Amino acid sequence: MSSDPVLIPFNRPSFAGPELTYVAQAVQRGHISGNGTFTREVEALLAQISGSPTALLTTSCTHALEMSARVLRLGPGDEVIVPAYTFVSTASAFALTGARPVFVDVSPLTLNLDVAAVEAAITPRTRAVCTVHYAGIAQDIDLLAELCSARGLVLVEDNAHGFGARFDGRLLGTFGQMATMSFHETKNVTCGEGGALAINDESLVALAEILREKGTDRARFLRGQVDKYTWVEVGSSWVASDMLAAFLLAQLESFEVIQGRRLAVWHAYDEQLRDWAARQGVRTPVVPLGAEHPAHMYYLRFDSLAQRSAFIAHLRQRQVMAVFHYQALNCSTVGMRLGGRPGDCPVSEEAADCLVRLPLFADMTPDELARVIEAVQEFRVPR
C-alpha cells in the first residue's frame, strides 16, 4: 500500500498558546457578552498596532464595513467606488444602505485600485471610495488619499489584508477616515470570526459607538457620561463577545511572532520560486518601493485559466491545496444587477481567472514548506 503524504491545507489556524486560558478566564469572570475587560484590552492593543486612535471590535470585517457605511449616512442616490477585484463585502456593505457600489479596475502591478480609473469614475453622486490593500501590499495609497481629499470624498480602507503593513513608513489603515480589519480564520490574526473598525476622524466615533450598540447611547452610559441610555439612532448589534475578545487577545499579544513566521514562509517562496517563475513565465508578487507588507498571502499569476487549472490539479496530485479567490464583482450576479458588465474591468477579470494562492500559515513546518516548493518547481506551464 502506498503511503500518500498528508494533504497540506491552504490554511490552518495557528494558535499562540494562551487562547483557551483567556477564554476560560472570561467565563470565570462571569462576563461573556461584549464590552468586558478583554474587549477593552483588545481595543487598546488594536489601536496601538494599527496606529489609529480608536479601534472598535466588531463581529466581522463585513460588519465593520457596514458600520462605516452607516456612519457616513450613505443611502439611495449615493455612489461608492470600490475595486472590482475584492471580496464581496467591500461592495455589499455599501449596497446594503441603498448606495450604489461602482466597480473600478485595479492596477496590473499589485491589483490595488487604479487611481486614474478612480478619478475617471467620480461623478457628482460619488461620496466615498473604499479601497483594498491587496495582499497587504500598498500601491499609490498616498495619491488615492490626496485625490479623495481634493474631491471631497471620504476614503475607507478595507484593510482585511494589510493589518500592521506600511506604505512610506505609515501604517495602512491610517490614510482614510476609517479602516476595517478582519479576524476571520484565514487572516493573519484570528478569533474565528471577528473584525474591527478603526476610526481616524474623531468626530465619527460617537455615532459609530451608538450604531454598534443597537442605536443606543449605551457606551456613554457605561462610561457614566449619561445617567440612562435610550434609542437615539437606527443601529444594529455589531458587538463581539468577550470570549472571542479573549481569544483574539492571545493572538494579538503574539503578533510579532506570528508575523515573523509568516514572513519567513513568504520569503522562502519568493526566493526559491523566483527562477522557476522566470523560466516558466509566471508572475510573482511585486512589492512597490516604500511598501512593507504583512505576508498575508503569496500568489502566482498565470497567463490563462487553463494554465491555472492545470497548476492547481498538479499540486492537488501532490497533496497540496492551492486556491483561487475573487470573481470580478462587475461580472457577479449582484454586480451586474447593480450596473456592472463583463469587460468593464479587464485586469480584475484576468486576475480572477489567472491568480492562485499558495498555502501560507504561521505554523507551517519546514517539511510542509519544502514539499510545496518542490511541487511548484516540478510544474511545467503548458503552452
Ligand X SMILES: *Cc1c(COP(=O)(O)O)cnc(C)c1O
Q: Phi and psi of 56, rounded to 5°? A: -105, 120
Contact stretch for ligand X (CB under 6 A) within 58-66, 246-254, 345-353, 361-369: 58-66
Nearer to ligand X, 186 or 216 (CB): 186
Nearer to ligand X, 89 or 126 (CB): 89
C-alpha distances in angstroms, 333 versus 81, 110, 328, 329? 18, 26, 11, 8
Contact stretch for ligand X (CB under 6 A) within 57-65, 228-236, 280-288, 299-307: 57-65
Taking CB under 6 A as the criterion, the residue among 61, 153, 282, 354 binding ligand X is: 61
Residue 131 is classified by DSSP as E
Taking CB under 6 A as the criterion, the residue among 158, 209, 217, 353 binding ligand X is: 158
Is 308 a binder of ligand X (CB under 6 A)? no
Contact stretch for ligand X (CB under 6 A) within 59-67, 123-131, 143-151, 229-237: 59-67
Is 54 a binder of ligand X (CB under 6 A)? no
Identify the CA nearest to 300 among candidates 76, 111, 172. Answer: 111
Amino acid identity of residue 336, one-letter, is: M
Is 163 a binder of ligand X (CB under 6 A)? no
Contact stretch for ligand X (CB under 6 A) within 19-27, 42-50, 85-93, 224-232: 85-93
Is 132 a binder of ligand X (CB under 6 A)? yes
Residue 181 C-beta: closest distance to ligand X, Å: 8
Helix (H, G, I), strand (E, B) or coil at 179: strand
Tell me the three cell numbers of residue 224: 457614566
Residue numbers 86-115 binding ligand X by CB under 6 A:
86-87, 89-90
Query: Using CA atoms, how far apart are residues 260 and 55, in angstroms rounded to an integer?
Result: 24
Is 131 a binder of ligand X (CB under 6 A)? no
Q: Phi and psi of 321, rounded to 5°? A: -95, 115
Contact stretch for ligand X (CB under 6 A) within 16-24, 157-165, 249-257, 373-381: 157-165
Identify the CA nearest to 10 among candidates 357, 264, 267. Answer: 357
Taking CB under 6 A as the criterion, the residue among 136, 195, 285, 335 binding ligand X is: 195
Query: Using CA atoms, how far apart are residues 270 and 324, in angstroms rounded to an integer?
Result: 18
Nearer to ligand X, 133 or 301 (CB): 133
Nearer to ligand X, 197 or 375 (CB): 197
First CA to last CA across the chain, in angstroms?
A: 35
Is 241 a binder of ligand X (CB under 6 A)? no
Tell me the three cell numbers of residue 190: 484570528
Contact stretch for ligand X (CB under 6 A) within 60-68, 94-102, 109-117, 210-218: 60-68
Taking CB under 6 A as the criterion, the residue among 39, 50, 52, 182 binding ligand X is: 182
Nearer to ligand X, 55 or 160 (CB): 160
Nearer to ligand X, 308 or 357 (CB): 357
309-340: b (≥16 Cβ within 10 Å) or e: ebbbebbeebebbbebebbbbbbbeebeebeb
Query: Using CA atoms, how far apart are residues 59 and 360, in angstroms rounded to an integer?
Result: 24
Query: Using CA atoms, how far apart are residues 280 and 244, in angstroms rounded to an integer?
Result: 44
Is 259 a binder of ligand X (CB under 6 A)? no
- Total residue length of the chain: 383
Residue 220 C-beta: closest distance to ligand X, Å: 27
Is 357 a binder of ligand X (CB under 6 A)? no
Nearer to ligand X, 57 or 249 (CB): 57
Amino acid identity of residue 227, one-letter, is: D
Query: Using CA atoms, how far apart are residues 352 and 109, in angstroms rounded to an integer?
Result: 15
Q: Are 130 and 118 in contact (CB under 8 A)?
A: no
Taking CB under 6 A as the criterion, the residue among 14, 54, 62, 200 binding ligand X is: 62
- Measured from the Cβ of residue 144, the count of other Cβ atoms closer than 10 Å reads 25
Is 184 a binder of ligand X (CB under 6 A)? yes
Positions in the binding site for ligand X (CB under 6 A): 60-62, 86-87, 89-90, 132, 158, 160-161, 182, 184, 195
